[in-house]
């Protein structure tokens, strides 16, 4: 479905040149969920942005459905690939109602039947028709993220790019959104690329994942391997350890320092 080979993304020139992504390659099969994990500055979000045209592809190849993407991306591309952003407080227009937010992609792509499609999209993300004429400030964080997902799904894309879709949400709301994403993937046969700093979230939703650091791929591994603690890479190990919570070092007793 998605084939990314030797992707490089460079911002700026000269002294300000930053190689945000260096030689990253991976492929995602149809119906698969693929995770990108790493800390801030690891380039994981930039990979997503490069795929959907929000960041330049300096060199390398991005193929969707066997075809190289063009810059600027075509309308057809956006029918296949849609993105959900991290912060639902920032990604919805504060002065547009849910109805207007959802009807915009339909209008751009000349879709008919907007009314029915909007109601359908709301239903898919578990919100009732009563949400249709609300403004974002009248919604909770979880509801906003549901609207952002509905907006991405309304064109019936095949691929969803999810950029930290739950990290701005409370734990209990995160569980609801993760369940929703799981459920939608099964029902609609979607392909996901999920970016997150949270290993547990990625392992929960994805089958395979790529660990990134400083713009480079560190290790590609399967979630099952992570679970059984079979990460070969030291950096991945440190991420796994950090995700288990705080651990006191064995050198804990303070008086040990005397002398």
Partner 1 sequence: MTKPLLEVEDLRVRFHLRTGTVEAVRGVSFRLGRERLGIVGESGSGKSQTGRAILGLTPPPGEVTAKRLSFDGVDLLTASKRKLRELRGGRVSMVMQDPKYSLNPVMTIGEQIIEAYRAHARASHAEARDRALAMLEAVKMRDPGRVFSLYPHEVSGGMGQRAMIAMMLVTEPDLLIADEPTSALDVTVSMEVLRILDELVTERGMGLIFISHDLKLVSSFCDRVLVMYAGRVVEELEARHLRDAKHPYTQGLMRCLPTLADDVHPLPTLNRDPSWAL
**Residue numbers of the site for partner 1 (CB under 8 A)?**
39-40, 141, 170-172, 174-176, 178-179, 182-183, 197, 199-201, 203-204, 223, 226-227, 238-240, 242-249, 252, 254
From the list 189, 185, 117, the residue with the least C-alpha distance to 154 is 117
Residue (8 or 167) nearer to partner 1, CB: 167
Q: Is residue 11 packed enough to be buried (19+ CB in 10 Å), middle (13-18) or exposed (0-12)? A: middle
From the list 17, 13, 32, 24, the residue with the least C-alpha distance to 49 is 24
Shortest separation between residue 166's beta carbon and partner 1, angstroms:
10
Residue (50 or 203) nearer to partner 1, CB: 203
Shortest separation between residue 72's beta carbon and partner 1, angstroms:
33
Shortest separation between residue 199's beta carbon and partner 1, angstroms:
6
Q: What is the DSSP letter of 248?
A: -
Give how far Cα 220 sits from Cα of 3, 45, 157, 256, Å.
15, 17, 26, 41
Shortest separation between residue 94's beta carbon and partner 1, angstroms:
19
From the list 170, 95, 89, 176, the residue with the least C-alpha distance to 134 is 95
């Amino acid at each position: 479905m998605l084939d990314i080979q030797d992707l490089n993304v460079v911002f700026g020139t000269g002294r300000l040149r930053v190689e945000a992504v260096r030689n990253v390659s991976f492929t995602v099969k149809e119906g698969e969920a693929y995770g990108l994990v790493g800390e801030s500055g690891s380039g994981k979000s930039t990979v997503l942005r490069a795929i959907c045209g929000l960041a330049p592809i300096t060199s390398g190849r991005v193929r969707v459905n066997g075809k190289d993407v063009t810059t600027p991306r075509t309308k057809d591309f956006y029918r296949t690939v849609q993105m959900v952003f991290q912060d639902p407080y920032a990604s919805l227009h504060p002065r547009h109602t849910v109805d207007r937010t959802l009807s915009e992609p339909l209008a751009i792509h000349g879709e008919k039947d907007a009314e029915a499609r909007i109601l359908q999209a709301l239903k898919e993300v578990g919100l009732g028709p009563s949400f249709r004429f609300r403004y974002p400030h009248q919604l909770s964080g979880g509801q906003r993220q549901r609207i952002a997902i509905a907006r991405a799904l309304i064109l019936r894309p095949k691929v969803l790019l999810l950029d930290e879709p739950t990290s701005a949400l409370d734990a209990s709301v995160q569980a609801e959104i993760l369940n929703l994403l799981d459920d939608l993937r099964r029902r609609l046969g979607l392909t996901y690329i999920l970016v997150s700093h949270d290993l547990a979230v990625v392992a929960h939703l994805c089958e395979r994942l790529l660990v990134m650091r400083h713009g480079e791929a560190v290790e590609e591994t399967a979630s099952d391997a992570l679970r059984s603690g079979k990460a070969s890479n030291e950096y991945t190990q440190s991420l796994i350890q950090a995700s288990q919570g705080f651990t006191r070092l064995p050198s804990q007793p303070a008086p040990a320092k005397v002398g």
